[in-house]
Amino acid sequence: MKNFFILICIVFSVQASFGQQITVKGTVTDQSGALVGVTVVIDGTQNGTVTGIDGGYSIDVPSTQSVLKFSFIG
């Protein structure tokens, strides 16, 4: 199992909501384009998502201090 450090181009769209949740949206890419199947997890939790066919993801985080971890096996 190999985790790659990925050249990440992230476009953040952060939106605060009334429940103190923040939605983070972005796109994960490398030199050849979008990366499909990258796991995005909130550090210290089991809450996460996986990038879609366009490399895009959306995840609700509890605060602006949350740290996202990206991993890719390939």
- Show the 3-state SS of the chain: CCCCCCCCCCCCCCEECCCCCEEEEEECEECCEECCCCEEEECCCCCEEECCCCCEEEEEECCCCCCEEEECCC
Q: What is the pLDDT of residues 4-29, one digit of tens each?
A: 443 333 333 344 445 578 999 999 99
**Predicted TM-score (pTM) of this structure:** 0.73
CA distance 38 to 74: 10
Q: What is the pLDDT of residues 20-62, one digit of tens each?
A: 789 999 999 999 999 999 999 999 999 999 999 999 999 999 9
